[in-house]
Chain A
Amino acid sequence: MSQENPLILGIESSCDETGVGLVRGTELLTNTVSSSMEEHVRFGGVIPEIASRAHLDAFVPTLQQALSDAGVTLEDVDAIAVTSGPGLAGALMVGVSAAKALALATGKPLYAINHLVAHVGVGLLDESIAAMTQGGQLPENLGALLVSGGHTEILRVRSIASDVELLGATIDDAAGEAFDKVARLLGLNYPGGPAIDKLAREGNAKAIRFPRGLTMPKYMGTAEAPGPHRYDFSFSGLKTAVARCVEGYEARGEEVPFADVAASFQEAVLDVITAKAVLACKEQGITTLLLGGGVAANSRLRELAHQRCLAAGITLLVPKFSLCTDNGAMVAALGAQLVMNGVAPSDLAFAPDSSMPVTSISL
Chain B
Amino acid sequence: MRILTIDTSAVASAAILDFDPSNPVKTAEVVANFVTEDTRSHAEVLAPGVKSLFGDPITEGPALDAIVVGTGPGPFTGLRSGIAMARTLSFTWGVPLYGMMSLDALAHQVFDSPEYRNGVAVAPLAVRDFVIATDARRKEVYWAKYSAGAQLLDGPHVGPADDIFGVQVFGAGAGLYEEVLTANRCSVYEPFAQAQPTALELGRAAARKITAAGSLEAAGLLDSTPLYLRESDAKVPGPRKRALS
How far does the Cβ of B144 sit from chain A's closest Cβ, in whole Å?
A: 22
Give me 26 A-to-B residue pairs in the complex whose CB atoms sit less than 8 angstroms apart, sorted by A's number: A49-B76, A49-B233, A49-B234, A52-B80, A53-B76, A53-B226, A56-B80, A63-B91, A64-B91, A74-B92, A89-B77, A93-B43, A94-B81, A94-B84, A97-B42, A97-B88, A101-B50, A101-B85, A105-B57, A105-B89, A107-B57, A184-B237, A243-B242, A348-B47, A350-B44, A351-B44
Instruction: Looking at the assembled complex, report how far the CB atom of A345 sits from the nearest CB atom of chain B, in whole angstroms.
Output: 13
B243 touches A243 (CB 8 A): yes
CB distance from A73 to the nearest CB of B (A): 11
Q: Mark A93-121, 1 if CB is under 8 A from B, else 0.
A: 11011101111111100000000000000
Q: Does B228 contact A (CB under 8 A)?
A: yes
Per-position binary interface string of chain A over residues 235-247, scored 1 when its CB falls under 8 Å from any chain B CB and 0 otherwise: 0000010011001
- A88 CB → nearest B CB, Å: 11
What's the Cα separation between A49 and B235 when bound, in Å?
Answer: 12
Complex: chain B residue closest to A242, CB-CB: B243
Output the residue of A56, A74, A240, A243 with the most chain B CB within 10 A: A56
Most chain B beta-carbon neighbours within 10 Å: one of A60, A93, A101, A247: A101
Interface size class of A (residues with CB under 8 A): 35 or more
Residue of A nearest to B51 (CB): A104
Q: How far is the CA of A106 from the CA of B92 in the complex (A)?
A: 7
Residues A102 and B92 in contact, CB atoms below 8 Å apart: yes
Question: Does chain A have a CB within 8 A of B55?
Answer: no
* Stretch from A40-48, A127-135, A141-149 forming part of the interface with B: A40-48
Q: Is B73 an interface residue (CB 8 A)?
A: no
Answer yes or no: B119 CB below 8 A from chain A CBs: no
Residues of A whose CB lies within 8 Å of any CB of B are 42-44, 47, 49-50, 52-53, 56, 59-60, 63-64, 74, 89-90, 93-94, 96-98, 100-107, 184-185, 240, 243-244, 247-248, 251, 348-352
| B interface list, Cβ under 8 A from A | 41-48, 50-51, 57-58, 61, 76-77, 80-89, 91-93, 226, 228, 232-237, 240, 242-244
A277 to chain B minimum Cβ distance, whole angstroms, is: 29
Q: How far is the CA of A50 from the CA of B85 in the complex (A)?
A: 19
